[in-house]
Amino acid sequence: MHKNLKKISFSDLIITENDNYIVVNKPPFIASLDDRAESKNLLSLAKEVNENYQICHRLDKETSGVVVFAKHPDAYRNFAMQLENREVKKVYHAVINGLHKFEDFEADEPLYTTSTKSRVDFRTGKPAFTLITTLEIYKKHSLVKCFPVTGRMHQIRAHLAHHEAPIVNDPGYGGDPAYLSELKRNYNYKKWEEENPIINRVALHSYQVAFRDLNEQVIEVEAAYPKDFSVLLKLLRKFN
């Protein structure tokens, strides 16, 4: 587990809550559910507060951002039905390699998924649909927002990679790390030391979620960027 996560409590992560739901901002490097390698995960943190809390969806371990918890079974069912009917709106922000101008670009290639990875496969893949829009363009990278209409595993990562716009530091999908030496002119680092990437995980953040509460009112929540994602954007803007 990442060194900063040992002291985290569930209450530290809460963005908003009511009688039915709690919405949290998941830090990177903590698993959503049981991870055999780690004793602590997001669900176990929640259950330390209340055994009845249930996680409604999951994020990959390295991905940061919005996660919804239900406080009781009716709330869980309500969210699960909306998820099944593709009525939950999730928006992700990603920093990608290269200069790309996407405007409501429709990535609709079918995805074939194994236990660890997804790939575009027009013969045996299942339908997958992601809307992609560019927010900012830098010197060698772009910031995009992605709205996955379907919920296939690694859908955003696989679709972006297929369109030659892999996410920064996502080697499994062809994404190169971002280094300060690529951005800053006359950057001096000691030749005998290996340069560290600016962000040492997949540069993907679950930015926003919107769904209906039990009383049909819409709950819409945004999650602030974690420090590593903010630092990456700050440097990309500074040396643009």
Q: How many structural domains are present in the chain?
A: 1
Task: Give the CATH number of the domain where residue 234 resides.
Answer: 3.30.2350.10
What is the rounded average pLDDT of the residues 189-194? Answer: 73
What is the rounded average pLDDT of the residues 132-146? Answer: 98
pLDDT over threshold 60, residue 2 = no
What is the rounded average pLDDT of the residues 176-205? Answer: 89
Torsion of CA 77, 55, 118, 137, to 10 degrees: 110
Provide the pLDDT for residue 22. Answer: 98
pLDDT band at 40; cut points 50, 70, 90: confident
Mean pLDDT of all residues belonging to the chain: 94
Provide the pLDDT for residue 194. Answer: 86
Task: Residue 225: give the domain boundaries.
Answer: 3-238
pLDDT over threshold 80, residue 38 = no
Q: Which two tokens stand for residue 10?
A: 């569930």
Torsion of CA 148, 152, 156, 162, to 10 degrees: -120
In this prediction the pTM is: 0.94
DSSP helix/strand/coil, 234: helix
Provide the pLDDT for residue 42. Answer: 96
Q: Sort 223 into a burial class: Cβ within 10 Å, 0-12 / 13-18 / 19+.
A: buried
Provide the pLDDT for residue 7. Answer: 82
Provide the pLDDT for residue 37. Answer: 62
pLDDT over threshold 80, residue 5 = no
pLDDT over threshold 80, residue 39 = no
pLDDT over threshold 80, residue 83 = yes
Tens-place pLDDT, residues 107-117 = 999 999 998 99
DSSP helix/strand/coil, 236: helix
Q: Which two tokens stand for residue 64?
A: 């940061």
What is the rounded average pLDDT of the residues 80-102? Answer: 97
Provide the pLDDT for residue 186. Answer: 81
Tens-place pLDDT, residues 148-161 = 999 999 999 999 99
Q: Which two tokens stand for residue 89?
A: 């709106």
176 as an active site residue: the answer is no
Q: Which of 34, 35, 60, 121 is catalytic?
A: 60
pLDDT over threshold 70, residue 128 = yes
**Residues facing residue 120 across a β-bridge:** 111
